[in-house]
Copies of this chain bind each other. A is one copy, B any other.
Amino acid sequence: MRPLTPDQLNPAILKVQYAVRGELAIKAEELREKLLDDKHGLPFNKVISSNIGNPQQKGLDQPALTFPRQVAALMEYPPLAELVQGKWPQDVLDRAKELQEHIGSIGAYSHSKGVPFIRKSVAKFIEERDGFPSDPEDIFLTAGASAGVSLILNTLITPNVTGVLIPIPQYPLYTATLAQYSGVALPYHLSEPNGWSTSLEEIETAVAKAEKEGIVPRALVVINPGNPTGAILDKKTMAEVVRLCEKHSLVLLADEVYQANLHRPDTHPFHSFKQVVRELQSPVPLFSFHSISKGVKGECGRRGGYFECTNISDEVRALLYKMASVTLCPPVSGQIALDCLVRPPRPGQPSYEQYKKETDTIHAALRHRTQLMAQRLNSLPGVSCVDSPGALYLYPKIELPDKAIEEAQRQGKSPDTLYALELLEETGICVVPGSGFGQKDGEHHYRLTCLCPGVEEYVSALENFHKKFVAKYGGL
């Protein structure tokens, strides 16, 4: 028999790239293994995974919030209620009891769109956030935002025909999923000199280019707050984006998973696209994505999130429901965490004080680290960095010595991959090269999360490495 070789496989799968967990992450795993040996001989003692927004991972250890975890423990083992009665806050016990009544066992498949009761809670959360009605039937709970994005793109894309506008830089889920489903990525560049703002002209140019090439632009992806940029859209730009979607009959995909990660909410508030679409009374079809993985909850591992359909017909919604049914249901554990995200403890409730203290501490730490890291990176020679007002990342631009670029060419790597690999090997810090997110030709970036232990020591390591790297390759 003939063995199974890649040339026999789906060619679309071969084309998929996903840098966040690519070459750097695999190298980081190897180094982590190596560190287990006492005589590892490496110039660091731990690997810090700054490549992925994973707050609770080992070494970062952002603590889980107490309220949702106590509720989750009771959902896992309801007889526990007797043991913790009087020891855990009463609102924890009440919430678990209420959820048990509506869900039954956490071990049963739920409705394929998610538990109806939790979808109602999500709709209420959206109404309170936006000031406009939300219909639970328009809410689909998902295994994280990624699963929702994948479902929507798979549904929208006719292979090799449909184009989807994506920001550059982008979160590589989009290019990966477009490659998987043979959609055509239509990149539009964000403006780094203007704090990674979204330019309508860039989108118009991309639409015109696609149409000229016989590609049908069907959808526009906006990531707000931005990933990897951390930028936050102002309402005026959002309204312009919606009008542009109307003009070109584009479906709007609003990736809003970082909506609770705001470092300067007074000057850089978050507005949802749902709100803007409703304010404009626009008919633009909109899918909005949210997640339990980000914010201050950071419950990545349980895979929870939702998307809301706005201006989507019953017929199209029924198709999405059918496709959701094939995967049976989103993880119930993620659904329960989502309930706690959209219905946190309120002032006056027994868990509130602790909840507020925990979330305030995490917000403050993220804000502090982001600002400090941006400031220190900006003072390095050849490095410039937008001080992100939101999300969990910085995306510094780095000038690299000509000799480093030559060395990268020699190794068959992009120059920022060379930089990131040497950073990892010297310091144990794992970042993602900008080439994974997209950048203009001749530019170099990397993305790092603002999740780290001991930010002073961490940023010093980044600084020392950068200076050494520049010197090693003959200076700028």
A134 within 8 A of B: no
Q: Which of A107-115, A377-385, A395-403, A417-425 contacts B (4 or more CB under 8 A)?
A: A107-115
A residues 263-305 in Cβ contact with B at 8 Å: 283-285, 293, 298-303
Task: Give the residue name and chain of the B residue nearest to A301 (CB).
Answer: B332
Q: B143 and A143: CB pair below 8 A?
A: yes
Contact A10 B155 (CB under 8 A): yes
A 116-144 to B, binary, CB cutoff 8 A, 1 in contact else 0: 00000000000000000000000000011
Could you mark each residue 289-324 of chain A with 1 if its beta carbon is under 8 Å from any beta carbon of chain B, else 0? 000010000111111000000011101100100110
- A157 / chain B contacts, CB cutoff of 8 Å: 10
Q: Which of A105, A107, A147, A283 has most B Cβ within 10 Å?
A: A107
> Chain A 46-80 against B: per-residue CB contact (8 Å), 1 yes, 0 no?
00000010111110010010100110111011001
CA distance A326 to B178 in the complex (A): 12
* Bound CA–CA A208/B318 (angstroms): 38
Nearest B residue to A17, CB-CB: B322
Contact between B3 and A313, CB atoms less than 8 A apart:
yes
Q: How far is the CA of A312 from the CA of B182 in the complex (A)?
A: 25
- For A77, give its contact among B70, B299, B301, B319 (CB under 8 Å): B70
Give the complex CA separation of A1 and B251 in angstroms. Answer: 10
Cβ proximity bits A148-163 to B, threshold 8 Å, 1 near / 0 not:
0010001111110010
The closest CB in chain B to the CB of A84 belongs to B83
Residue A375, interface by CB 8 Å: no
B150 touches A327 (CB 8 A): yes
Report chain B residues within 8 Å CB of A61.
104-105
Query: How many Å from the CB of A11 to the closest CB on chain B?
Result: 6
What separation, in Å, do the CA atoms of A20 and B326 have in the docked complex?
9
B107 touches A8 (CB 8 A): no
Q: Find A316's partner among B2, B4, B107, B313 (CB 8 Å cutoff).
A: B4
Chain B contacts for A16, CB-based, 8 A? 322-323, 326
Of B143, B159, B249, the contact of A10 (CB 8 Å cutoff): B159
A460 within 8 A of B: no
Q: A177-B326, A319-B6 are in contact. Are A21 and B73 (CB under 8 A)?
A: no
CA–CA, A72 to B74, complex, Å? 10
Chain A residues bordering chain B, tally (CB within 8 A): 102
Annotate A7-38 by CB proximity to B: 1 below 8 A, 0 otherwise: 01111111010101110010001000000000
Copies in the complex: 2
A326 touches which of B18, B80, B182 (Cβ 8 Å): B18
Q: Does A331 contact B (CB under 8 A)?
A: yes
A4 in contact with B313 (CB, 8 Å): yes
Given the interface pairs A4-B251, A155-B9, A331-B303, the reply to whether A18 lies near B109 with Cβ below 8 Å is no
User: Closest residue of chain B to A11, judged by CB?
Assistant: B158
Inter-chain contacts of A315 with B (CB < 8 A): 5-6
Q: Does A184 contact B (CB under 8 A)?
A: no
Query: Nearest CB to that of A330 among chain B residues?
Result: B303
What residues on B are CB-neighbors of A64 within 8 Å?
105, 107
A146 within 8 A of B: yes
Bound CA span A176–B251, Å: 25
> In this complex, what residue of B is CB-closest to A64?
B107
Contacts of A182 in B (CB 8 A): 159
Cα–Cα, bound, A248→B2 (Å): 9
Q: Is the CB of A319 within 8 A of B14?
A: yes
A280 vs B218: C-alpha distance when bound (angstroms): 52
Q: By the criterion CB–CB under 8 Å, are B54 and A108 in contact?
A: yes
Minimum CB distance partner of A2 in chain B: B249
Is A372 located at the chain interface by the 8 A CB criterion?
A: no
Residues in B with CB closer than 8 Å to A111 are 29
Convert A162-190 into 0s and 1s, putting 1 for each residue whose CB lies closer than 8 angstroms to a CB of B: 10000000000100110011100000000
Q: Which of B52, B108, B283 contacts A3 (CB 8 A)?
A: B283
Residues of B within 8 A of A2 (CB): 249
Cα separation A328 to B172 with both chains bound (whole Å) = 12
Cα-based distance from A328 to B177 in the complex (angstroms): 13
A459 interface hit (Cβ, 8 Å)? no
Known interface pairs A56-B104, A83-B87, A300-B328; 17 further A-B residue pairs with C-beta atoms within 8 A, sorted by A's residue number: A3-B285, A5-B316, A8-B218, A13-B154, A21-B328, A55-B107, A56-B107, A57-B104, A61-B104, A64-B105, A72-B76, A73-B74, A144-B328, A154-B180, A159-B182, A301-B329, A303-B303
A-B CB proximity, top 5 nearest: A301-B332, A21-B325, A56-B105, A56-B108, A73-B77
